[in-house]
């Protein structure tokens, strides 16, 4: 008990709000604050993804030009995903497809799958043992087709600028189901600028295409926004329990992303230095974003058996240094 305050919300807490107006009208958001300057927003109508992230008022994530977009406006055809890709700090890509639109075993699959546009069917929060918990359930299932259930939990200590995320994905159907997941973590200004120092402890780096190959020597170098910049993707080979770090010494802020490659064996760096489209994607996943058909042909497609489940753990650490 703290006799200096009238209500815990004076210092920390979770508040549920709704947006009014525009394409985000009616969307439910959970605004989370801990007691040491960390603030983030969880979108209850977009897969419980993290939309905003800041530390002591300094923004860490990227917000795309479309802004908030409710699931009702989702265009699932081809690359229509980009019309409602808010990006935010983290967008979940999957659960049945990631990356380029493709046709796999006769099924048309859109860019980055559909789960990021599915509202949570159950989401709630509580505070216990000086930790904020948010738990959500997202059902990615259909009649006569694949049936996956995502159970997500965020744990944020009141006095530590850390978010621990645990996803449990379960095949609740009666047939094998492809599983593709990529955690599209997006850094934006002011954390991201030409002063950002990127550390990815990879044992090897490959360019996604010939254009990216032309810039592979500078994969860790950030530039000022450029007009007409064409995105580059780099595939990093990671091993064991690993931590990717982005530090901006001028802004005195840093972000670390820790996870286990036994759960998420692939890591994609998305470097986009365009004017207005200025973002760095740091993306652990169980696949590369070239389309499910490509992963299947390469023998890298993960399959989840009926009743089986898979867990993914990621820890985000925000610091001032």
Residue 289 contacts residue 98 (beta carbons within 8 Å): yes
Pairing type for strands 62-63 and 87-88 reads: antiparallel
- Torsional sign, CA 310, 241, 208, 111: positive
Which among 105, 97, 51 has a CA at the least distance from the CA of 78?
97
The answer to whether the predicted template modeling score (pTM) of the entire model surpasses 0.85 is: yes
Nearest Cα to Cα of residue 303 among 283, 286, 284: 286
For residue 41, the model assigns a pLDDT of 98
- Residue 227 confidence class, pLDDT cut points 50, 70, 90: very high
> Model confidence over 31-84: pLDDT tens digits?
999 999 999 999 999 999 999 999 999 999 999 999 999 999 999 999 999 999
Please state, in angstroms and rounded to a whole number, the distance separating the CA atoms of residues 139 and 296.
24
Structural domains in the chain, CATH included, are 8-319 (2.70.98.10)
Count other C-beta atoms under 10 Å from residue 81's C-beta: 21
Helix H segments across the chain? 210-213, 292-297
What angle is formed at CA 99 by the lines to CA 93 and CA 102, rounded to 5 degrees? 125
Q: Are strands 62-63 and 177-187 parallel, antiparallel or unpaired?
A: unpaired
Q: What is the pLDDT of residue 168?
A: 98
pLDDT band at residue 185 using 50, 70 and 90 as cut-offs: very high
Distance between alpha carbon 240 and the CA centroid of its chain, in Å?
21
Cα–Cα distance for residue pair 253/209, rounded to 1 Å: 32
Q: Is the pLDDT of residue 154 over 80?
A: yes
Per-residue pLDDT, averaged over 216-237, amounts to 98
Confidence band, pLDDT 50/70/90 cuts, at residue 112: very high
Please tell me the predicted confidence (pLDDT) of residue 238: 97
| pLDDT at res. 162 | 98
Is the pLDDT confidence value at 156 over 90? yes
Q: How confident is the model at residue 321 (pLDDT cuts 50, 70, 90)?
A: confident
Q: What is the mean pLDDT of the segment spanning 251-255?
A: 97
The pLDDT of residue 32 is: 98
Arithmetic mean of pLDDT over the chain: 97
Indicate whether 2 pLDDT > 90.
no
Q: Which residues, 6+ apart, have CB-to-CB distance to 133 below 8 Å?
A: 125, 126, 127, 153, 154, 155
Please answer whether residues 251 and 190 qualify as being in contact, where contact means their C-beta atoms are separated by less than 8 angstroms. yes
* 265-314 pLDDT per residue, tens: 999 999 999 999 999 999 999 999 999 999 999 999 999 999 999 999 99
Distance in Å from the first CA to the final CA of the chain: 32
Concatenated DSSP letters of 237-269: E--SEEEEEEEETTTTEEEEEEEETTT--EEEE
DSSP 3-state of 10: helix
- Please report the pLDDT score of residue 1 as a whole number: 73
Closest CA to 22 of 58, 80, 85, 68: 68
């Amino acid at each position: 008990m703290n006799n200096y305050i009238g209500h815990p919300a004076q210092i920390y807490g979770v508040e549920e709000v709704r947006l009014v107006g525009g394409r985000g009208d009616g969307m439910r958001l959970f605004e989370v604050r801990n007691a040491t300057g960390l603030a983030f927003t969880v979108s209850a109508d977009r897969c419980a993804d993290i939309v905003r992230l800041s530390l002591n008022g300094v923004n860490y994530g990227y917000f795309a030009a479309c802004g908030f977009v409710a699931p009702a406006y989702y265009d699932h055809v081809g690359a229509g995903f980009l019309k409602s890709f808010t990006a935010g700090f983290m967008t979940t890509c999957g659960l049945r497809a990631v990356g380029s639109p493709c046709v796999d075993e006769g099924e048309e699959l859109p860019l980055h799958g559909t789960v990021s546009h599915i509202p949570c069917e159950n989401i709630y929060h509580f505070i216990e043992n000086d930790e904020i918990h948010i738990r959500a359930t997202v059902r990615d299932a259909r009649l006569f087709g694949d049936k996956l259930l995502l159970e997500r939990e965020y744990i944020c200590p009141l006095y530590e600028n850390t978010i621990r995320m645990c996803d449990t994905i379960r095949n609740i159907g009666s047939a094998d189901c492809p599983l593709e997941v990529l955690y599209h973590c997006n850094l934006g200004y002011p954390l991201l600028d030409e002063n950002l120092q990127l550390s990815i402890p990879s044992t090897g780096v490959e360019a996604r295409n010939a254009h990216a190959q032309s810039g592979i020597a500078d994969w860790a170098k950030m530039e000022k926004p450029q007009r007409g910049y064409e995105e580059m993707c780099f595939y990093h080979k990671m091993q064991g329990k690993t931590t990717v770090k982005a530090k901006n010494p001028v802004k005195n802020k840093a972000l670390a992303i820790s996870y286990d490659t036994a759960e998420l064996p692939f890591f994609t760096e998305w470097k986009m230095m365009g004017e207005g489209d200025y973002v760095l994607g740091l993306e652990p996943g169980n696949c590369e974003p070239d389309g499910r058909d490509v992963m299947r042909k390469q023998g890298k497609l993960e399959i989840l058996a009926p009743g089986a489940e898979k867990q993914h753990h990621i820890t985000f650490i925000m610091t001032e240094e």
